[in-house]
């Protein structure tokens, strides 16, 4: 039989930490399953054949997130947006998001890829400013929200840190549309004239480290329980099968 006479202050301090640690461990296990669902959907959509824009817009476009879409239209280069602080091979630059007007007049945002900082001005990359009708394949990405502690977008200076699709489409002169406002497209790795922008920047190697985090929190809870019980044993407040720590 185990008998424990809890000491007041050690219990008041240890119990909330123990509950918090266990709760965070369980939450990380739930996050692990959530991340696995995302990765499975990404893999399935990546493996699927490209679909048309019309097919994408028949339902919720985000069901095809990270899937590929074929479309055609004309780039509106004069309305391009610049995503700041993007790097490629340890070189800092930016990414160019350009409105694409399709043959039927719809406006889709297209992240054309990375350019070095010294080619920010379109005149420095004139070859890549493709004119006329183009046939493209893009990867479906959801409209982004500002992350905690990330800088705010500065639309007046064309400095963007996340792709705010509804606002960007509105600034490009497109009417609101719940489906078109929910996503943008990333360029695939097909080369552009002049070598820039450099497409194929979609990150697909998303880690799933939540199991490690869960184990860490559970170990913290286990260590805390061990210290708590050792304290009570050393102070004669814990007995096991009639055995009690004797103090000199």
Domain boundaries of the chain, sorted by first residue: 2-36+208-244, 67-195
Residue 244: is its pLDDT beyond 80?
A: no
Residue 243: is its pLDDT beyond 70?
A: no
Instruction: Taking residues 79-108, report their average pLDDT.
Output: 93
Identify the pLDDT of residue 96.
96
Nearest to 25 by CA among 230, 232, 225: 225
- At 75, the pLDDT band (50, 70, 90 cuts) reads very high
CA dihedral 205, 208, 209, 214 (to 10 degrees): 170
**180 versus 38: which is more confidently predicted?**
180
Does the pTM of the predicted model rise above 0.75? yes
Instruction: Taking residues 45-63, report their average pLDDT.
Output: 93
Residue 137: is its pLDDT beyond 80?
A: yes
Q: From CA 22, how far away is CA 67, in angstroms rounded? A: 37
């Amino acid at each position: 039989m185990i008998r424990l006479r809890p000491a007041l202050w050690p219990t008041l301090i240890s119990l909330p930490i123990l509950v918090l640690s266990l709760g965070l461990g369980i939450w990380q296990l739930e996050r692990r399953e959530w991340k696995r669902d995302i990765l499975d959907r990404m893999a399935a959509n990546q493996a699927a054949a490209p679909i048309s824009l019309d097919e994408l817009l028949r339902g919720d476009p985000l069901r095809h997130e990270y899937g590929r879409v074929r479309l055609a239209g004309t780039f509106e280069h004069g309305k391009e947006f610049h995503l700041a602080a993007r790097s490629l091979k340890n070189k800092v630059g930016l990414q160019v998001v350009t409105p694409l007007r399709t043959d039927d007049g719809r406006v889709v945002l297209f992240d054309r890829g990375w350019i070095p900082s010294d080619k920010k001005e379109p005149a420095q990359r004139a070859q890549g400013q493709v004119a006329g009708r183009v046939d493209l394949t893009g990867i479906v990405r959801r409209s982004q929200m500002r992350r905690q502690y990330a800088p705010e977008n500065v639309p007046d200076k064309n400095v963007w840190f996340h792709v705010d699709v509804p606002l960007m489409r509105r600034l490009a002169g497109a009417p609101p549309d719940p489906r078109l406002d929910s996503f943008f497209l990333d360029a695939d790795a097909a080369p552009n004239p002049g070598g820039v922008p450099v497409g194929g920047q979609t990150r697909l190697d998303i880690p799933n480290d939540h199991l490690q985090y869960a184990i860490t929190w559970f170990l913290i809870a286990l260590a805390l329980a061990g210290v708590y019980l050792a304290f009570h044993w050393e102070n004669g407040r814990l007995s096991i099968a009639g055995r009690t720590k004797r103090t000199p």
